[in-house]
Each structure stands twice: as structure tokens, then as C-alpha cells.
Amino acid sequence: MPKQILKFPAGFLWGSATSAYQIEGGNTNDWSEWEKSEVRSNKLEKEGKNLDDYLCGSACKSYELFGEDIKCLKELNCSAYRLGLEWSRLEPEAGKFDKSAIAHYRLILKTLKENQIKIVLTLWHWTNPVWLIKQGGWENQKVRQYFSRYARLIVNELGDLVDFWVILNEPLMIIGHGYLDGKFPPNKKFNPTLFKVIYNFLAVHKQSYKIIHNRYPKARVSLAMTTGAFTPANIYNPLDRLMVKLANYFRNDWFLNRLKGYFDYIGVNYYHHDRLSWRPPFRKNLNKKITDLGWEIYPAGLEQVLKNYQKYQKPIYILENGIADADDKLRPDFIKDHLFYAHQAIKQGIDVRGYFYWSLLDNFEWAEGYWPKFGLYAVDRKTFKRTARPSAKVYAEICKNNRVVIS
Ligand code: IFM
């Protein structure tokens, strides 16, 4: 292939993404409690796993070491950072907010601003205060009232520093893993309460959208969608093609359609591609190239997802895209190849305005623990020292020059 230089539009945001629980350390919430539960430890023991690798514990100590993280962002020439707040830290008891936690988050956000880094702030990225879980968590309608109280606090205390809001991160992942396959807390399998949870997610999103907009009418508010690209296993088979239509609708559109009028941009998280067949086992991936987690690498799927979202006529930000690749052998091309397809979308007039690599640091990958390495920076689990991987240099060049060189 001849060398290509892909210029991105002026003002395109280049960033990296993290979430509070996965990097902060020292949190107590539904996840930390589940990680320590007997059921969980027995299962891990049976599988011969080292329990410590599956306890979030100190994570990357980013609550204290946020200055180090900002140094990494500067080294990467990032113009934006997507980070999250930990609800359980801010409201450790129902209705009682921790002033020092608010002040601490304010300090983090102010330091980002002083470093000319735009802030994309996530209010909820899967973890919940224990007091909420004791009342039924997201299955209880009261979550609507509780989340509004939390959202109001954030708007009042931190809202002046936020550039982009993400109310909920990938709510449908919690439906899939929390209520269908049981991999994530509350570990329910094929449980019909998932419908209550979905409707509470929708209501919470709408309410929070209004709360933010009442105070900041020009705010840019959305959610991060867990998207998927689907292709038929046999393009000539109408049933395979029907499967693709259904999968695309339920994964990418159904939830968003219900929020029309309540998002100012679309937040895209893209990791997954599936070749679908109407016959069990339904998924027939070729898996020519896979990540350490076994996920098929399919950069063209990003263009497909972006094209699908054009119909909403809103700016699109790719809020997560990344790879578990401990050897860092695949990551440089992974990033460039995905950006190639993002650029293809832009060339066709799709309004893509930013890209955030997941993740800045190796962090706690939920039920998988610490072994998957998504970071542009490796984190030493004893000293917490951050070390740039070679791919960090590749990404830093892209961010600095606002272009990708494909050779
Ligand atoms: O680590 C997660 C993140 O919390 C949500 N999106 C997918 C990432 C990789 O699995």
C-alpha cells in the first residue's frame, strides 16, 4: 500500500480514557464487596487463579497519583481526558456527601484545566455505593431519585470545569453481564428484572440530562454506547442478514432511540465485531487476529458503526477504543487501522470529532482482574510507576500532528 497521510479536522480531540474504579484505588462499593465474596473466591480458587490479581485494591493509585497520569497525558500530547467519578466515594452514606472527596475531584479537574486538557467526565461507570445495593440497586425505582441528588451535587460542585458529560457508561453491558450471563454484579442469569433496570437507566439518563442543562444550557451531554459491528456469515443468506439487522438494532440503536432529544453528541465505545449466522452457535468469527482477551480485531467495523450513527445528526466522539495487548506488538497498528476507518467516515461527511484510546494505563479489567493490559502506559503493581510502551510514542505523534501516517 502506498504511504498515506490522513489529516484530521482542525480541533479534533485526541484523548485517552479511564474510569474511576479501574484506576483510583481504595474504593468500597458493590464491586469491591463482590470481589471479596465467598462465591467469587471459591470460583477463582477452583480455576487455580491467584485471588490478589482479581481484587481491585489499590488499582493504579490514581486518586493520589493523578499528577503522574496528567504527565502521561501531556507526554501523549492529548488535548482531552475522559475520566470518571466514583459515586460511592462522593456519597459513602445515603444523602451524606464527602466534602473532601468533592474538593479532591475539583483539584484533579482544575489541574487538567491548567494543563489545557479538556475534560470528559463520566458520572457512572458501573460501580455503585453499597447503601444503594442494599436497597435493590438499579432494580429499585428509587435509584432515579438518588441519582438525581448525586447529579445535582456534581453539577453544582464541579460543573463549571466540565467540557463534555457522560452520564452512563455502557449501560447495556451491565444488562448483559449483570442480568444475562451473570459475570458482573449483581450476578443474575437470564433474570427478567433486567427490564426494570433498563427503564431506570433510561429515566436516570433523561433526568440527569435535564439537571445538567438547566444549570448549563450549552452543556454537551451524552452517554457512552457499547457498540458492535455485525456482518453476515454468508452474505447471500437472507436469514444471516436478518440476524445482522436485529443485532445492529438491539446493540446500537434500541437504547439510543429511546433517548432522542436527550443527547447532544453520541459517545461511541468500539471493541467488538461478530460474523453472525442464523444457526447456532450464531457467532462465526474468523478470528484471524485477536486481542489477548480473544476479541477479534476488526477495524473496518468502526466505520460501519459511525455510518450507522449518522442518521441521528449529532457530532460523534469515539470515547473508547483499545486493545488488551501485553506485548504491545499489535497496539500501534490497532490504533492506526481504527483511525484509518474513522478517517474514512469523516471523508464521507460523518461528523466525528474526537478519539479516546482505552486506556491510558493498565488497570483493573473488571471480572478479568489485572492480567489484560490495555494501557499505553504499563503500571508496576508494586511501585505504581507508569512506563510508556512503544505504542505511546506512536499515539503521541498522532495527537501532536493531528494526522495518521499509514505506510
Ligand atoms: O475496561 C472496559 C471499560 O470499563 C468499559 N469499556 C470496555 C473496556 C474494556 O473491556
Q: Which atom of ligand 1 is nearest to the CA of 125?
A: 4
Q: Which residues, 6 or more positions from 401, have their beta carbon under 8 angstroms from its beta carbon?
A: none
**Which of left, alpha, beta for 77 (phi over 0: left; psi -120 to 50: alpha)?**
left
- Among 170, 147, 102, 133, which Cα is nearest to 28's? 133
Q: Which long-range contacts (CB under 8 A, 24 or more apart) does 100-103 make?
A: 102/153, 102/157, 102/158
Q: Which atom of ligand 1 is nearest to the CA of 19?
A: 4
77 CA to middle of ligand 1, Å? 23
The pLDDT value recorded for residue 407 is 87
Q: Which atom of ligand 1 is nearest to the CA of 271?
A: 7
> In whole angstroms, what separates CA 148 from the centre of its chain?
22
247 CA to middle of ligand 1, Å? 20
Q: Which atom of ligand 1 is nearest to the CA of 374?
A: 9
Q: For the whole model, what pTM was predicted? A: 0.98
Ligand 1 atom 10: residue of nearest CA: 365
- Among 354, 375, 353, 356, which Cα is nearest to 364's? 375
Ligand 1 atom 9: residue of nearest CA: 365
Q: Which atom of ligand 1 is nearest to the CA of 363?
A: 1
The pLDDT value recorded for residue 167 is 99
235 CA to middle of ligand 1, Å? 31
Q: Which atom of ligand 1 is nearest to the CA of 365?
A: 1
Q: Which cell is 165 given? A: 458529560
d(CA 96, CA 366) in angstroms, rounded, equals 27
**In 219-279, alpha helices (H):** 238-248, 254-257
Residue 72's H or E segment, with its range, is helix 62-75
Burial class of residue 312, CB neighbours in 10 A (0-12, 13-18, 19+): middle
Q: Which cell is 135 given? A: 436497597
Q: Which residue, chain included where needed, has cell 432522542? A: 260
72 CA to middle of ligand 1, Å? 20
314 CA to middle of ligand 1, Å? 24
122 CA to middle of ligand 1, Å? 13
d(CA 224, CA 315) in angstroms, rounded, equals 13
Residue 120's H or E segment, with its range, is strand 118-124
d(CA 276, CA 234) in angstroms, rounded, equals 8
Q: Give the burial string for 120-135 (b: 16+ CB within 10 Å, else e).
A: bbbbbbbbbbeebbee
Q: Any idea of the CA torsion for 180, 274, 257, 270, to the nearest 10 degrees?
A: 100
317 CA to middle of ligand 1, Å? 16
Q: Which residue, chain included where needed, has cell 453539577? A: 155
Ligand 1 atom 2: residue of nearest CA: 365
Q: How far is CA 369 from CA 65, 280, 361, 393, in A?
A: 21, 30, 14, 26
272 CA to middle of ligand 1, Å? 11
Write down how long the chain is.
407
Residue 102's H or E segment, with its range, is helix 99-114
Sign, CA torsion 123/387/343/230:
negative
> In whole angstroms, what separates CA 200 from the centre of its chain?
20
Q: Which atom of ligand 1 is nearest to the CA of 126?
A: 4
170 CA to middle of ligand 1, Å? 9
Q: Which long-range contacts (CB under 8 A, 24 or more apart) does 217-221 make?
A: 219/159, 219/162, 219/165, 219/264, 220/163, 220/164, 220/165, 220/264, 220/265, 221/164, 221/165, 221/167, 221/262, 221/263, 221/264
Substitution candidate for ligand 1 out of 86, 184, 320, 364 with most atoms within 8 A of CB: 320
The answer to whether 361 touches 62, Cβ cutoff 8 Å, is yes
Ligand 1 binding residues, C-beta < 6 A:
19, 22, 170, 269, 320, 358, 365
SS3 of the chain: helix, strand, coil, percent, to 5: 45, 20, 35
Collapsing DSSP to helix, strand or coil, 70 comes out as: helix
Phi (first) and psi of residue 255, to 5 degrees: -65, -45
Substitution candidate for ligand 1 out of 169, 170, 325, 331 with most atoms within 8 A of CB: 170
Q: Which cell is 193 given? A: 428484572
d(CA 229, CA 247) in angstroms, rounded, equals 9
> Averaged in consecutive runs of 10 residues, what is the pLDDT profile of the chain (407 residues)?
92 98 98 97 96 97 98 98 98 98 98 98 98 98 98 98 98 98 97 98 98 98 98 98 98 98 98 97 95 98 98 98 98 98 98 98 98 98 98 98 96
319 CA to middle of ligand 1, Å? 11
The pLDDT value recorded for residue 392 is 98
Substitution candidate for ligand 1 out of 358, 360, 362 with most atoms within 8 A of CB: 358
Burial class of residue 171, CB neighbours in 10 A (0-12, 13-18, 19+): buried
